[in-house]
Structure 1
């Protein structure tokens, strides 16, 4: 049989770093390769819910994550005039000492994850990825772009939506698809009255809102239908984002008018992918966006990647056949990730193609008990 003693993690994002921490806590030696030479992430915010914080507790870093962000409770749904449509409170899944929801910047989260991955003994190599992965019954041999080689018990592909590991192991068949929408983000000072997430409906083919990130900052976001090949000159991003928010009133109008620096506008087309099972072949397994890249409508991308990591770390600590462990991983992760993926895609479809039975608040409320279930 042979217990897993050494693993390779490909990708130094949220999922990869979480996996490295989880495996090191399980006593497994970990090499992590990240193709970028500078270990940086773009300066936008993310919103995470109680299941993410619960996963951070399992990794031993929840206190640091909460301290780096802005804890709050649930989400308000309002129309463009500011009228309250629904108020959904979060669930404190990590226990009474932790919040139900948390906003924080990507750089702040990255700093916590990378610092702890190194602290627990992960061997991190930047500016390096793999050239070739060769699988055998009892090992995986990997050659790297820096001319070195390594032998591992397992390889974990955590290299994102455009995963090279996925392409190498599963072929060209599985590629992310454009969902029809794009997301705009811009960091602003946090108004004192906005101390939780707020979503505003009423925009054509989308929604906008505000997420608090720290005591002093937050971000405005806009999700709506955009051409897949949208091309806007970089110096026009701010006026284009303001134009799309022209119908906002009240505090959102005030925040809209602060969107002035085009170089600080972050726009991304939304692409999604959900791999059929299994997410592994032999001794190589995919986690996070490499297997299930979800849109941000339910705020679950980071959470699902970290849950993958926690479950994988727990399972690989066992002295059982790799195939059995990977099958156990699929049993615990597939249906849960599929529910989140389908709900996120449904949200986007309702925004682009409204129907009489569209119920975003109801779907959000339905998601809560699913996320509360143990992983």
Structure 2
């Protein structure tokens, strides 16, 4: 991690939520000399999930944290992706040049592996971590925030950062003008398993009412995602029934998508969840309390950018705190820099999903995706 400009506007910060955005903020602020406490409601600080696609902009954000080599070692770095018709017929290869010199193009990693790598960085940064606890009350007072925790203890911090996911407790307590993320009408099926023998790059399958993609996440690991109209029954299925339903949805697919269908079992990690998204209305801060990540810009996976914009938001927050004379000025500048970019990601992702539900041509959907990814390659 490169040397960071020190922060003088605050000396202490509480980060609520130990996910990707919260850990990125903890690593960055600690490197800038802030005494950071990070709390997470899960007493074991676990993460569940399949793989995660690491786009060029996301790799750029992780480069600022000094973690690209970690991701390359524990995940998979590839030069681009391949496009197929749903029946497995190859359409074309897309080479994706790096968005910065010396930066890999794209890749993937298993989410639990990435979580563990970031936990190691949090520990190395000297961050104080408390588990099995959240916040019960927050009160701005005299240039700080008085906090009461769910275990009855209390504390005072110069800044409180709510990075506690789409169902944010901090948002609920401090931002009554905001609301819950809204379902988009699509659901996402995922399976994590061994890699098909012939797969080397990411793959996407078009021309079907369902959209499918495969991401390499390690030497011999992949995850496959499948987007369908939302199914209430999917949320209630488990084990063999869940895997069987996913296989049914993949019945028409060939190539490596067909190989996954024929090879996957209930012993692999199989999951279904409805998709929800929301760009929360401004302001994103109240006094010395601020939100980042899914708490304020929850998105769907269509641009593979949810994790990336969370890390970006953490980095921008640190930059503005180092630049500003007061925390309040920094939070305003952070919001100004982040709102439009995050709104673009959320609204474009939802628009892609709506186009898929409406059966729009693949070329049209690909054009929306390509234009958005080009915008994301710009500076943040």
CA RMSD of aligned residues (A): 1.9
Tell me which residue corresponds to 2:293: 288
Which runs of structure 2 are paired with 1:246-265 in the superposition (5 Å)?
Answer: 246-261=251-266, 264-265=269-270
1:23 equivalent in alignment to 2:29: yes
**Deviation digits for residues 18-60 of structure 1 (CA, Å, limit 9, x no counterpart):** 0100101111110001001111111410101111111111112
CA distance in structure 2 between the partners assigned to 1:357 and 1:364 by the alignment:
10
1:275 equivalent in alignment to 2:280: yes
Tell me which residue corresponds to 2:69: 63
Instruction: Report the CA distance shift for 1:254/1:111 in structure 2 as closer, same or farther (over 3 A).
Output: same
1:145 equivalent in alignment to 2:150: yes
Instruction: Report the CA distance shift for 1:3/1:303 in structure 2 as closer, same or farther (over 3 A).
Output: same
Which runs of structure 2 are paired with 1:123-272 in the superposition (5 Å)?
Answer: 123-171=128-176, 173-204=178-209, 206-228=210-232, 230-235=234-239, 236-261=241-266, 264-272=269-277
CA distance in structure 1 between the partners assigned to 2:245 and 2:121 by the alignment:
39
Instruction: Report the CA distance shift for 1:90/1:270 in structure 2 as closer, same or farther (over 3 A).
Output: same
Mapped contact 1:53–1:94 kept (Cα < 8 A): no
Q: Report runs of 4+ in structure 1 exceeding 6 Å deviation.
A: none
Instruction: Report the CA distance shift for 1:3/1:84 in structure 2 as closer, same or farther (over 3 A).
Output: same
Q: Tell me the TM-score normalized by structure 2.
A: 0.93
Mapped contact 1:350–1:358 kept (Cα < 8 A): no
Correspondent of 2:357 among 334, 352, 356: 352
Q: Indicate the larger mover: 36-45 or 170-179.
A: 170-179
Mapped contact 2:15–2:36 kept (Cα < 8 A): yes
1:74 equivalent in alignment to 2:87: no
Correspondent of 1:112 among 102, 110, 117: 117
Structure 1, unaligned runs of 5 or more: none
**Deviation digits for residues 320-342 of structure 1 (CA, Å, limit 9, x no counterpart):** 12222112112211111111112
1:150 positional shift: 1.2
**Deviation digits for residues 158-183 of structure 1 (CA, Å, limit 9, x no counterpart):** 00101111111112751111111111
**Deviation digits for residues 240-275 of structure 1 (CA, Å, limit 9, x no counterpart):** 100010001233212111122167211111111111
Mapped contact 2:12–2:157 kept (Cα < 8 A): yes
Instruction: Give the paired residue count.
Output: 373
Q: Tell me the TM-score normalized by structure 1.
A: 0.94
Structure 2, unaligned runs of 5 or more: 1-6
Instruction: Report the CA distance shift for 1:120/1:74 in structure 2 as closer, same or farther (over 3 A).
Output: same
Correspondent of 2:321 among 299, 316, 320: 316
Instruction: Report the CA distance shift for 1:5/1:69 in structure 2 as closer, same or farther (over 3 A).
Output: same
Mapped contact 1:141–1:152 kept (Cα < 8 A): yes
CA distance in structure 1 between the partners assigned to 2:332 and 2:54 by the alignment:
28
CA distance in structure 1 between the partners assigned to 2:371 and 2:208 by the alignment:
24
Mapped contact 1:3–1:317 kept (Cα < 8 A): yes
CA distance in structure 2 between the partners assigned to 1:176 and 1:368 by the alignment:
23
